[in-house]
Homo-oligomer: A and B are copies of this chain.
Amino acid sequence: MSVQNQTMSIETKKHELDTLFKPKSIAIIGASSKELSIGNVIIKNLVHFNYTGKIYPINPKEPEIRGIKAYSTIFEVPDDIDLAHVIIPSKFVPQIIEDCGKKGIKSVIINSAGFSEMGDEGMALQEAFLQNAKKYGVRIFGPNCQGIINCDPEYNAYCDFTFTFPNPGSISIVALSGGVGAFIMQSLFDLNIGMRMYASNGNACDISISEVIKYYGQDDGTKAIILYTEGFHKPLEFLNTAKLVARKKPILAMKSGRTEAGAKAAASHTGALAGIDISTELIFEKTGVLSFTNEEEMCQAAMAFSTQPIPKGNKVGIITNTGGPAVIATDELVNSGLEIPAISAKAEEILKNTLLPEATIGNPIDVVATGGGVHFRSALDVLMNESQIDSIFINFVTAPFTDTDEVARNIVEVNQLKKKPIICNFMTNMSFERFQKTAKILQDGGVPCYSFPTTAAKALGALYKFHKIQNREIGFPQLFRDIDKNTVKEIIENSAINEFMSSEKVFSILKAYNIPIADWGIASNIDTAHEIASKISYPVVVKAEASDIIHKSDKGGVAVNIKNQAELISTIENMKNNFDNSALKFLIQKFEPGGKELIIGVTSNGDLGHLIMFGMGGIYVEILKDVVFKLSPVTQVEAEEMLSTIKSSKLLDGVRGQQGIDKKRVIEIIERISQLVTDFPQIKEMDLNPVMAFSDRAIAVDARIKL
C-alpha cells in the first residue's frame, strides 16, 4: 500500500493552534520603547514583516510604542486578542496568564526566562501560570523561547525576535534550540529556499514539538518539515505524531547529543535531557523520519524537497556538460543507493541525431561545454521519456561561449512538468551579471541548484530515501493468541522487583508465550533429577538453582553434556559440595549443542515501551558489538530486518558448507518476546542468551528476566 492510497484524517476545521500560528491580533505584554529590547524588536519585526493583523503593545506608561498606540493593560484593548507575547519578569507571569484567560486570549508566547530552567523557584512559577492557563483554556508556547513565524502572506506573523526575514515557501521548521532553529532558518534563506512556518518553544511546558509537527502535518502549505532536537520529554507522543505525519510528508530531522560529550553539552544547556539515547534514532527509523547527522546536508536536502516530486525508483539519468563533476556525482549517487542505468537504443539514436558530434551518448550524457539549450533539452526530453529513469541529475557549468540563459530556460520548462525530480549542480561565477541572470531563471523556475556535485547528489539521495520510506510497510505487530497471559500475570505478581527471577519462573513465562525452550525440569534430589533426565532423554545440562547463586558457571554450578545416570549422580554430588545450601535445586535441561548461538535482549524504555536487541552470540556480540535494536512492539517486517541488518547476517544463511538457520522461527521468537514485554511493561530487563538456532528450529536454552 503506498501512501497515496492512505486516507488520513486531516482536520480542515479551525485548529486549536490557529490562534498561535494564524493570529488576527497580537498583544505584546511588556512592549518596550527601548531599541533592541525583545519587547521592542518583536513589534519592529511584525511591522517589518508586514503583519496583516492588529498589534497591541501593552505598556503601563507609554502612550505609544514604535508609533503604535499602546494600552496599559490587555483589558483596555477594545478588540479580541488571538495571541499575546509575554515579556515581563517571571514573577508577574502567573497573574498575567490569569488576565489573558479572563480576556479570552487563547494562545500565549512566553518569551521571558526564569522558569523550569532556573531551579525550584522558577519551576513553581511555571506550575502556577500553567494552572491558570488550564483554568481558562489558554495554550502556552514557551516559556524561555523565541516564538513562531508564519510566512503565509495572509498572516505574515513574525512573532519572534530573530533577525532573518524569509520569503514565503513550503518548508516549516521546529527546533528545540532557538540558536539552531535560527541558523537553519538563515541557511534556507541563504539557499533561497522559502519558509512556511517556524517554531522554537524553549522550555516547552505546554505546546510540544510533537504538537507543532502535527499542526505542520495538517497544513497544506507545508511540503516538508525540518526538525531539530536533542531528545524528547515525551517520546511516545512524538512517536505517535511522527507515525502519522512522516508518511504523508517528509520530516527531515537531526538529533544531536549523539556522543557522550555532545549529550553532556546538551544537558548543560537544556537541563532536563541528558545522556545518550538511542531511542530517538529508533523512533525516527520506526516512523519513517529522515534522519540527518549533518545540518548542512539537511538544509541542502530541504531545497530539493521544497520543489521536486519524490522519485518512483532509484534509476538516475545524468546530463553533464563537463566530465569530472559527473564522475564525482556518480560516486555519491551510487553511495546513496541510486543506479545509473544504460539508456535505450532508441534514446541513443535520438541523441546521436540531436547532440553535437563531440557529445558522449550514454549515461551520463555529456552534451559537452559547447552544448546549448537545444542539446540540454534533447537530453532532458530523452530522459523524461525513458520509462526506466526515475530522476535526472544535471551538471551545468556556465561556459561563457554558450547561451546559458537558454540552457536554463530549457531546464525550467522540463522541470515544470513535475514528472520526475530534477537536481542541478550549477557551477558558475556569480560575480558576472549574466550568470546571476541564468541562476535566477533556474531559481524562479524551481530548479534546486547546488554548488558541488557531491552536495547535489546527496540531496537527490535524500529524495530517494523518502521514496523508500514511503514504500516501506512495516505493518502491524502480529498478535499471537496461543498464549497464556494469566500464568505470566500470576508469576509477575509474585516476583520481587530489581532481581532476576528463578529459572523455573522464567521458563514458565516463556512456555506461557509459546517461546521454545530446551526441555527442562526442576529437581531437588538425584532421583527426581534422573527421572527428569530420562524423560527428556540424555545428554542433559545440569544447573544449580538457589536464590543466592549468582555466577553459577564460575563456581561449577553448570555442567553440560551429562550423558547418563552415573555422570548425573556425580555431577549433582559435586554441586552439593560446591554450594553448601539446603535449598539447592537442580535445573535439568536438554543439552542442545551444535546450533548457532543467538541473543535476544530486552530493556525497558519507560513509556516508550522496550528496546529489543538481536545479535549473534559469543564474539559477535561481545567483541564485534554486532547487534541491532528496534523499539517494541516489533512487527514481522522489523524482526526480519533485525536478522538481515546485523553485519554478520550472511552467517545466518549458512556458509562454508554449513546449513543456514531457521530464520522464520527466530523471527517468531522475536515477535513473541515483543508481545510478552508489551503485555507486561513491568518487565525491565530480559534476555534469551543463547537461543540455539538450527536449520529446522530455534530454541532458547537460557534466559533471564528482571522486573
Contact = CB atoms under 8 A, between A and B. Distances in A.
Interface of A: 36-37, 41, 163-165, 175-183, 186-187, 189-190, 228, 230, 254, 256-262, 264-266, 268-270, 293-296, 299, 318, 322-328, 330-335, 339-340, 360, 362, 364, 366, 395, 397, 400-401, 427-432, 451-455, 618-619, 622-624, 647-648, 650-651, 655-656
26 contacts: A36-B401, A177-B322, A179-B324, A179-B395, A181-B324, A182-B397, A182-B427, A183-B397, A186-B427, A186-B451, A187-B452, A189-B429, A261-B330, A265-B326, A265-B330, A265-B364, A269-B323, A293-B331, A294-B332, A296-B454, A619-B651, A619-B655, A622-B655, A622-B656, A624-B647, A624-B648
B454 A323 contact: no
B452 A183 contact: yes
Given A265-B327, A397-B183, A452-B187, A163 B322 contact: no
Contact of A180 (B299, B324, B332): B324
Contact of A335 (B259, B265, B324, B326): B259
Given A183-B427, A622-B655, A647-B624, A261 B339 contact: yes
A643 to B, nearest CB: 15
A327 B256 CA distance: 6
A483 B429 CA distance: 62
4 tightest Cβ-Cβ pairs between the two chains A and B:
A177-B324, A269-B323, A179-B322, A180-B324
A655 B624 CA distance: 11
A268 B340 contact: no
Given A429-B186, A651-B623, A397 B179 contact: yes
A156 to B, nearest CB: 17
Nearest to A340: B261
Contact of A328 (B37, B180, B430, B622): B180
B269 A331 contact: no
A333 B264 CA distance: 14
A185 to B, nearest CB: 9
Nearest to A118: B358
B324 A269 contact: yes
Contacts of A258: 331
**Most central of A295, A334, A650 by chain B CB within 10 Å:** A295
Given A400-B41, A429-B186, A656 B618 contact: yes
Contacts of A400: 36, 41, 163
A256 B624 CA distance: 31
A357 to B, nearest CB: 12
Nearest to A161: B400
Given A183-B451, A655-B623, A163 B432 contact: yes
A37 B340 CA distance: 34
B269 A176 contact: no
A427 B299 CA distance: 15
Contacts of A181: 324
A59 to B, nearest CB: 19
A295 B425 CA distance: 13
A266 B327 contact: yes
A81 to B, nearest CB: 27
A262 B330 contact: yes
Contact of A323 (B164, B179, B325, B327): B179
A256 B431 CA distance: 29
A408 to B, nearest CB: 17
Contacts of A259: 330-331, 334-335
A360 B269 contact: yes
A175 B328 CA distance: 13
A409 B364 CA distance: 49
A228 B454 CA distance: 14
B296 A452 contact: yes
Given A180-B325, A189-B429, A427-B186, A268 B362 contact: yes
